[in-house]
Amino acid sequence: MLRRRLSSLFRRANVAFFSQSSPGSGSLDVAENLNSRIVIPNKQRKRVKPGVISRELALPKNTKRPMYARETVRGTPEQPLEPQVHDEHDRKSMRTSCRLAAQVLEYAGTLVKPGVTTDYIDRQAHKLIMNSGAYPSPLRYARFPKSICTSVNDVICHGIPDSRPLEDGDIINIDVTVYRSGFHGDTSKTFLCGNVDDELKQLVDVTRECLTMAISICGPGVDYRLIGETINEIADRYNYGIVRDFLGHGIGRYFHSAPAIIPYRNRIPGKMQVGETFTIEPILTTGGTEYQIWNDGWTAVTKDGSYAAQFEHTVLILETGVEILTLPL
């Protein structure tokens, strides 16, 4: 999802909202929100600790890579300030990429079991993507070292697959993005590992519900901000926090672009248009919503140890409504 990089683009574009929010500290309304919310205590849960990251996996030479993953390219991947709008032909390509991402995600989910390492899940997903003639979009994206993101328990997002074996009672978000025939498809789900507390299962269910309901209000001419409104209303009913610093995004030929799809109440203007594709990817927590980044430069964890759940789909706006592209079918 989009982090500071896009917000700095918006800053350049003079969108005041983004220039006010600074990662980690949160904006004013966050503080108010936190004070008024009953924070659910985390029952002395252990925090996830970094494991060992294995070496980079190989890909066939002829796999078509996105620009940022070519040998000679360095620096920040391009994040266009325009939405990505597709004609009929490109919509078909998006459908194909997105379906593959969904199939890989479904497969990865079947591997979630106590004792299995996130590195193993990454390796298996990598193989499936490779054998499908696609490229795993996260690999080498701004130096991300693996093919999928695996975010366990108090990890908010962008967890790097490593040597940590999954434990009974963990929740794990697996985020799969593939690049195929020039188009990215992006989707994630939070899976239950073994026997998960009812309290945590509810977090996962409510987060899934937020995504479902947010998609249901999408269509041509609809304000993007209604996505945030819809999610916020549901999260509030359960006193869950919504992480504010990671957002959905336009997607297509580029992994990330405008519009920023904000998963909480906001007043940012902009309307959905026919042919555009973007992701919706709310992250809910059992408590606080501030984050810290591990020394690996990627893994975002909650400051207070709250657990986090996330679901993500890539959608296409049609004349008649909205199509969820990341279904495995």
Binding residues for ligand MF3, rule: CB under 6 A, are: 1, 138, 141-142, 144, 149, 158, 175, 177, 186, 279, 281, 298, 312
Query: At its nearest, how many Å lie between ligand MF3 and the CB of residue 114?
Result: 25
Which tokens belong to 224? 């993007």
For ligand MF3, the closer CB: 42 or 174: 174
Q: In Å, what is the CA distance from 261 to each residue of 22, 152, 220?
A: 17, 23, 15
- What backbone torsions phi and psi does residue 24 show, to the nearest 5 degrees? 90, -45
The pair of structure tokens assigned to 16 is 């005041």
Residue 251 or residue 317: which is nearer to ligand MF3 going by CB?
Answer: 251
Rounded distance between C-alpha atoms, residue 269 and residue 266, angstroms: 9
**Residue among 33 and 135 whose Cβ is closer to Co ion:** 135
Contact 312, 186 (CB under 8 A): yes
- Strand-pair category, 149-152 with 257-261: unpaired
Q: For Co ion, which residue of 170, 186, 276, 323 counts as binding (CB under 5 A)?
A: 186
- The site partner of 184 among Co ion, ligand MF3, none (C-beta below 5 to 8 Å per kind) is none
Smallest gap from residue 47 Cβ to Co ion (A):
23
Least separation in angstroms between CB 143 and Co ion: 17
Binding partner selected for residue 158 from Co ion, ligand MF3, none, CB under the kind-specific 5 to 8 Å limit: ligand MF3
* Residue nearer to ligand MF3 on the CB measure, 33 or 137: 137
Is residue 199 helix, strand or coil?
helix
Contact call for residue 1 and Co ion (CB under 5 A): yes
Does residue 175 interact with Co ion by CB under 5 A?
A: yes
Nearest to 116 by CA among 152, 155, 157, 156: 152
Read off the tokens for 291. 């984050």
Q: What is the DSSP letter of 141?
A: G
Residue number with CB closer to Co ion (224 or 304): 224
